[in-house]
A and B are shown apart, each in its own frame.
Chain A
Amino acid sequence: MTSSAFFKRMQLSKQSKTHKKDDLFVTLISKFKPITPAQELKRGFYNFKSVIWALIFKEFKIRLGESKLGIVWVLIELIVSMIVMSWIWLIIGRTKIDNIHVMLFLGAGFTIFFIIRRGFSPVPQGIKSNSALLNYPGVKPIDTIFARFILEMWLHSIAVILLFFSLFWILGLSPIFSDPLLCFQALGSSAMLALGIGLLLGIYQTFYESIGKVISIITQPLMIMSAILYSMNDLPQSAREVLSWNPIVHLVSAFRQGLLGANAFPEYDLSYPTFLGLFFLGIAFISYHANRFRLIQK
């Protein structure tokens, strides 16, 4: 079609268009058919899937590329933390907390804590470190967060399996799985809370850089306040009441209860972190939707 012919048809379509829909307008002047909403949804889902895969693949490549040691550290950090902290208990002469071997007890605590911690540290930075790739129309800021989250959870799962396998292999300690369903519930709630925090921080950290610095100071004492290294049952009631505002305490307790059969503390309530996670996730999606184009411009 030459340009003059095109302009003639443009004029024609303009006359007929005034009361008709965009679709008719499109069919009149374009050789391509307009897309139906169903097609758009299907295409969108397919696109989402391939983008997430591509991003996960890319994140993994960069992780590997930066240093092989980095990947190794991610996998053994859990074991190292557990050993170092258990050591302290063992030197003092205490081998059991809540009637459970110290190593299993701390291992279970770190399993949950490291999930939450990833929501603070590598997940929110996903948007910023992938800003060059947002130039592809298919890649949305939220995809970078999802991809990073999925990769982190995947690496963490391997680390957890390594931890419990080596505990069984070397020391013959094995969890009793007293309530497997509760285990998964605790893990799922932790993952949800981590994603909620990661997405929320990811959005606002991109706008205000100082938030990241403030958060890193706030999260410094998080491990001590999350009952990872000790049992809530060993604390006086007044301390428990304060600490039970921290959702991680409940998640840790639930996981220990389900995996090791440990007794929960009196104020324990798993619905609190679960609803908090849902709440964060909801707020995060709303703020993402409100700011999705501003994020790309940043």
Chain B
Amino acid sequence: MIHLEHVSKYYATPRGRHWVLKDVTLTIPDIARVGVVGPNGAGKSTLMRLFAGVDAPNKGKIIRTGSISWPMGLAQSMHGSLTGKENARFACHIQGLDRNKIQTTVAGIQEFADIGKYFHMPVRTYSSGMKARLNFAIAMAFDFDCYIIDELTAVGDKQFREKSAAAFQGKREESSFIKVSHNLNELKKECNMGLVLSNSKAVLYPSITEAISVYEDFLKNRA
């Protein structure tokens, strides 16, 4: 569960504060598959960072229960000079995994990422698709109660998208996810709740179709 209470978040810019969230109160339940939609620059990634606890709000508080993954996104949470394998090991270490379990976990990540010999090459040589695969594979190796996915599947090929969907199918009973995507059809298929982020407001809807229609109305009004 993630509970936001009167949360405000802004960035200081030369032209005054840019408000990403303004006095937002909402609760995401334990078993929720939330699709997050919003226009570019609305602060979806910032919201994901707040959910994951990487960033902190300027005002208000966030209560989290259960384990929450880091925001899986593009080119994040991986060190460019380390190889894929070393990045996987690093993640195992910071998750406090037992030393004798690391070997098998890394092997599992290698198999899931399926990026061939690039697994032994520095991450800076990867394409964005390969980065996404590795990032996703690393996060999937651990059992989080909630996974946070920030436009990760956007760059993946069809096989990867099917694979990631299947991976969640297996975990669906125990784990939830919060997913940012511009692919509305994909969200419609996978999610059961929707969150619309626009104009510094975040509103949670109990059904994804409702959220998407609100979002589409918003886009129409703006155009």
User: A: which residues have CB within 8 A of B?
Assistant: 1, 3-4, 6-7, 10, 22, 25-26, 29-35, 46-47, 50-51, 53-54, 57-58, 61-62, 65-66, 130, 132-139, 293, 296-297
Contact = CB atoms under 8 A, between A and B. Distances in A.
Given A136-B77, A136-B91, A1 B31 contact: yes
Contacts, number: 105
B81 A46 contact: no
B114 to A, nearest CB: 22
Contact of A3 (B70, B90, B94, B192): B192
Contacts of A31: 30, 66
A137 B52 CA distance: 7
Contacts of B54: 134-137, 296
Contacts of A132: 75-80
Given A58-B86, A61-B86, A139-B94, A3 B29 contact: yes
A10 B27 contact: yes
Contact of A137 (B11, B53, B66, B93): B53
12 contacts: A10-B27, A31-B66, A33-B65, A35-B65, A50-B93, A50-B94, A50-B95, A54-B93, A58-B82, A137-B52, A293-B56, A296-B54
Contact of B3 (A25, A66, A133, A296): A25
A18 B123 CA distance: 49
B68 interface: yes
Contacts of B95: 50, 138
B145 interface: yes
A4 B206 contact: yes
A29 B32 contact: no
Contacts of B94: 47, 50-51, 54, 136, 138-139
A26 B55 contact: no
Chain B, interface size: which category? 35 or more
A47 B97 CA distance: 11
Nearest to B91: A136
B71 interface: yes
Given A54-B94, A57-B89, A135-B71, 19 more contacts: A3-B193, A25-B63, A29-B1, A29-B29, A30-B29, A31-B66, A50-B96, A51-B94, A54-B93, A58-B79, A58-B90, A61-B82, A132-B77, A132-B79, A133-B78, A135-B73, A135-B77, A137-B53, A137-B54
Nearest to B67: A32
A30 B66 CA distance: 9
A1 B82 contact: no
B7 to A, nearest CB: 14
A136 B206 contact: no
Interface in B8-66: 11, 27, 29-32, 52-56, 63, 65-66
Contacts of B128: none
Interface in B96-142: 96
A297 B79 contact: no
B82 to A, nearest CB: 6
A57 B97 CA distance: 15
Contacts of B209: none
Contacts of B80: 132
Contacts of B93: 50-51, 53-54, 57
A32 B30 contact: yes
Contacts of A137: 52-54, 68, 70
Contacts of A26: 1, 3, 63, 65
Nearest to B207: A3
B76 A135 contact: yes
Contacts of B91: 136
Nearest to B56: A293
Interface centre among B30, B71, B73 (most CB of A within 10 A): B30
